[in-house]
Amino acid sequence: MPEERTYNGAVPPPGCPAHEATPLQQDDLRRLFGPEAEADPAGLYEKLRAEHGEVAPVLLHGDLPAWLVLGYSANLTAMRTPSRFSRDSRRWTEFQEGRVAPDSPVLPVIAWQPTCSFVDGEEHRRLRTAVTDGLNNFDRRGMRRYVTRFADQLIAEFGSIGKVDLVSEFAEHLPMLVMTQLVGMPEEYGPRLVEAARDLVRGTETAVASNEYVVESLRRTMDRKRSDPGADLVTRLMQHPSGLTEDEVLQHVRSVLLAANETTINLIAETLKMVLTDGRFRAHLSGGQMTLPDALDQVLWDSPPFMLVPGRWATGDTELGGRHIKAGDMLLIGLAAGNADPAVRPDLNQPLFGNRSHLAFGSGPHECPGQEIGRAIAETGIDILLTRLPDLQLAVEEEELVWRGNWMSRHLTELPARFTPRVAFQPQDPTTTASAPVVSTPEPAPHTPPAATVPPAAPAPVVPEQRRGWWAGLMAKLRG
């Protein structure tokens, strides 16, 4: 049986001296998983703030203890002082004392990996420099051409129908299609990687096989780039003076690919939801009082793509937000809770257009290095969609919208919309974007991946019909 642990908790009001005098047993702690937590995470955070102040003791899956950082200032402190709060998960007491089960749902995002996200100091600078150099060299105008191209292809599939689920038919596809181009993968990999990434995020029974498919796809891409380098992320990491190993290149590209995909899906979906459900928001946007970048920042304040992220691990006994943190304790960075801290937002209804001091992308040395790429994909994709379909309207009552939650994030399951069908709409000719590519000249189409690399429960890879195109084939399959 795991050793019973106690926390110096708080039942009295935050700041009261009795805070530290009343130890809370594990049974008294709130869990960040389960129906109650997943149904209303924002409500749970506010309960925890009222009970404990800036930092609250909580339980993860398997009743693993952690500290959830709720205060805006406390979150910045945890993220900006790696000497006190490290990113190296191997420091976690629960790991060291064998209390983390091999099949724990927290393991995939907490287990140490050879990436800049899990190291500090000089090693972090070496790896982080390679990643930021690789991401910062992309041409934003060229990237916009790719987003426009894929957005038009997606819109063409439902443009003549007059209705669409903006989550499953738009938001869940656009980011990965663009990212495969930036990474340097052949376009034909796009549909399968979309499926694999969605499978990974949902944590299905085939998630492990999906991860293997992603890794194997990246390995094949790296093999080609050795003999045919280009202006893409894989090539830049392989050739960077920091001297990344093959495994370091693969793990960083995988992390960028999956993280950028998930965060951008959520950003697109939540922004479109805001446009379709908030008349004032849409009026400000269409009337020019608010630009699309301003709108994205408002969404990043109100609905960050990740509600919380693990984690930081205390390098020694320390204090944060009035709490005594022991060496090896894990901190969860509360991005959504910090954004709603009354100390910085006394009125949550007050617009924050253009204010980029939100916590959505983190802060400090581990701030998200690809945030501008994610913003560019979301901004351009939404702009194209609203330009092509200006009369887009929500097709259900707002109260009917449903979210799917887990301990880290919350996703819209569907966003049904209707519009006037555009029978004559045609996607932009892909050849018009080839004159100014973001990556090197297109690679030859790969062989169909071996059957062993495809998740067993997933549909077989689509073989595109010449007259319809591979994208039409994928969309027909997804519609069933």
Q: How many domains does the chain have?
A: 1
pLDDT of residue 25: 61
Percent of the chain with pLDDT over 90: 57
**How far apart (Å, rounded) are the C-alpha atoms in residues 323 and 78?**
13
10 domain residue, yes or no: no
Taking the chain (480 residues) in runs of 10, the rounded mean pLDDT of each run is: 38 42 62 85 94 96 94 97 96 94 83 91 95 88 89 94 96 92 86 80 70 90 94 95 95 89 93 91 79 91 93 96 96 97 93 89 93 93 94 95 85 95 64 36 34 36 31 40
pLDDT of residue 3: 37
45 domain residue, yes or no: no
51 domain residue, yes or no: no
Q: Which CATH number is 283's domain given? A: 1.10.630.10
Each residue of 266-297: pLDDT tens digit?
999 999 999 999 888 888 787 777 888 988 99
Inter-residue contact 271 to 386 (CB < 8 Å):
no
Whether the link from the prior residue into 311 is cis, omega within 30° of 0, is: yes
pLDDT of residue 258: 85
Question: According to the 3-state scheme, what is the secondary structure of the chain?
Answer: CCCCCEEECCCCCCCCHHHHHCEEEHHHCEECCCHHHHHCHHHHHHHHHHHHCCEEEEEEHHHEEEEEECCHHHHHHHHHCCCCEECCHHHCHHHHCCCCCCCCCCHHHHCCCCCHHHCCHHHHHHHHHHHHHHHHCCCHHHHHHHHHHHHHHHHHHHCCCCEEECHHHHHCCHHHHHHHHHHCCCHHHHHHHHHHHHHHHHCCCCHHHHHHHHHHHHHHHHHHHHHCCCCCHHHHHHHCCCCCCHHHHHHHHHHHHHHHHHHHHHHHHHHHHHHHHCHHHHHHHHHCCCCHHHHHHHHHHHCCCCCCEEEEEECCCEEECCEEECCCCEEEECHHHHHCCCCCCCCCCCCCCCCCCCCCCCCHHHCCCCHHHHHHHHHHHHHHHHHHCCCCEECCCHHHCCEEECCCCEEECCCEEECCCCCCCCCCCHHHCCCCCCCCCCCCCCCCCCHHHCCCCCCCCCCCCCCCCHHHHHHHHHCC
Nearest to 365 by CA among 79, 56, 10: 79
User: How much is the CA Rg of the chain, to the nearest whole Å?
Assistant: 23
Per-residue buried b or exposed e for 341-362, using 16+ beta carbons within 10 Å of the residue's own CB: beebbeeeeebbbeeeebbbbb
β-strand partners of 403:
412
pLDDT of residue 346: 94
324 domain residue, yes or no: yes
User: Is the CA virtual torsion 378, 277, 388, 155 positive or negative?
Assistant: positive
CA atoms within 13 A on the CB side of 369: 25
61 domain residue, yes or no: no
pLDDT of residue 205: 67
**How far apart (Å, rounded) are the C-alpha atoms in residues 72 and 321?**
10
330-333 and 410-412 as β-strands: parallel, antiparallel, unpaired? Answer: unpaired
Decide: residue 62, CB within 10 A, 0-12 exposed, 13-18 middle, 19+ buried.
middle
pLDDT of residue 376: 93
The helix-helix angle for 246-277 and 207-227 (nearest 10°) equals 120
Q: From the centroid of its chain, how far is CA 283?
A: 28
421 domain residue, yes or no: yes
pLDDT of residue 427: 58
Residue 322: left if φ>0, alpha if ψ -120 to 50, beta else—which one? left
Decide: residue 283, CB within 10 A, 0-12 exposed, 13-18 middle, 19+ buried.
exposed
pLDDT of residue 354: 80
pLDDT of residue 111: 86
141 domain residue, yes or no: yes
Cα separations in angstroms, 433 against 67, 231, 389, 474: 48, 16, 22, 22
**How far apart (Å, rounded) are the C-alpha atoms in residues 427 and 45?**
44
360 domain residue, yes or no: yes
Domain range enclosing 355:
127-478
